[in-house]
């Protein structure tokens, strides 16, 4: 029996990277998936999301592409309503959308602070707030947010990113307590360094320095994070809430 048969999920930032891997992993286990993407100048993210949707459908599940900027509450509310109307119910939210704007604090200007907090932390609030009442009414829900090892350890040049991801961990634990008796679990995943566009953007020396600190000796794959998300979304994780699941090759223990 597929592990997410009959379930539906909304995954933010699902047109590439970790979000795409989670979308396909869920669909491979029978889950209908709404793949959120952001329309950005200079990138055909709609086409990327459509490609992911096609793969979801080829796995025998329903797929929906939904454009929304997670920093914009109105567009997030519209997205949530569209997903619930299309699928009839929403069981799983994966808060995956995230950005970096790395600078040492000395050079970190307010727009780069604000942008990272807006996507990585306020975006989690917007998306979760937009679906929590629905999940409470159905007395079922799985909320999984992608934090980061950087939110646990800090990292040079990432005060904005580390603060946002530490915020996601605090948000997760607080909400887990609020909704535990309503059949809703709330967990976070803290990936280490995963091979996606986000880490491909790092300078070579920085990548090499990171690699040298990972006990397992290699970067993680998006599939490693997707497997962790599948576990937290599955019935096997029914008694796990407020947890931060490390997927980091031993980088932080």
Residue 199 DSSP class: H
User: Using CA atoms, how far apart are residues 24 and 30, in angstroms rounded to an integer?
Assistant: 10
First to last CA, the chain: 34
CA distance 149 to 162: 9
Beta strands in 72-166 (DSSP E): 92-95, 141-146
Question: For residues 81 and 238, which CB has a smaller minimum distance to ligand NAP in the complex?
Answer: 81
Which residues contact ligand NAP by CB under 6 A?
Answer: 12-13, 15-19, 36-38, 40, 45, 69-71, 96-99, 119, 146, 148, 191, 193-194, 196-199
CB-nearer residue toward ligand NAP: 87 or 193: 193
CB of 236 to ligand NAP, least distance (A): 23
Q: How far is the CB of 207 from ligand NAP (least distance, A)?
A: 10
Nearer to ligand NAP, 140 or 202 (CB): 202
Please tell me which residue in 37, 125, 161, 252 is annotated as part of the active site: 161
Nearest Cα residue to 248 out of 157, 162, 146: 146
User: Are the CB atoms for 68 and 79 separated by under 8 Å?
Assistant: yes
Give least dist CB 197 to ligand NAP, A: 4
Residue 210: CB minimum distance to ligand NAP, A? 9
Annotated catalytic, 239? no
Q: Which is nearer to ligand NAP, 141 or 191 (CB)?
A: 191
* CB neighbour list of residue 8: distance below 8 Å, 6 or more residues apart: 31, 32, 33, 34, 62, 83, 87, 88, 89, 90, 91, 92
Q: Annotated catalytic sites, by residue?
A: 161
């Amino acid at each position: 029996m597929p592990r997410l048969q009959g379930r539906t999920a909304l995954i933010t930032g699902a047109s590439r990277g970790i979000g795409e891997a989670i979308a396909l992993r869920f669909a491979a286990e029978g889950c209908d998936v709404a793949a959120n993407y952001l329309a950005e100048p200079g990138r055909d993210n709609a086409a990327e999301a459509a490609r992911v949707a096609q793969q979801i459908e080829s796995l025998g599940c329903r797929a929906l592409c939904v454009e929304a900027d997670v920093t914009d509450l109105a567009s997030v509310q519209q997205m949530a309503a569209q997903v619930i109307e299309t699928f009839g119910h929403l069981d799983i939210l994966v808060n995956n959308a995230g950005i970096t704007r790395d600078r040492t604090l000395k050079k970190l200007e307010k727009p780069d602070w604000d942008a990272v907090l807006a996507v990585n932390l306020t975006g989690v609030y917007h998306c979760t707030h937009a679906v929590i009442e629905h999940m409470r009414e159905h007395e079922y829900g799985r909320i999984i947010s992608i934090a980061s090892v950087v939110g646990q350890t800090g990292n040079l040049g990432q005060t904005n990113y580390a603060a946002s991801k530490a915020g996601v961990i605090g948000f997760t634990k607080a909400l887990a307590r609020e909704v535990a008796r309503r059949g809703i679990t709330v967990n976070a995943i803290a990936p280490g360094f995963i091979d996606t566009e986000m880490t491909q953007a790092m300078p070579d020396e920085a990548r090499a320095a990171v690699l040298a600190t990972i006990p397992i000796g290699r970067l993680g794959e998006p599939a490693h994070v997707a497997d962790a998300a599948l576990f937290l979304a599955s019935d096997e994780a029914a008694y796990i809430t407020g947890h931060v699941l490390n997927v980091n090759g031993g980088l932080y223990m």
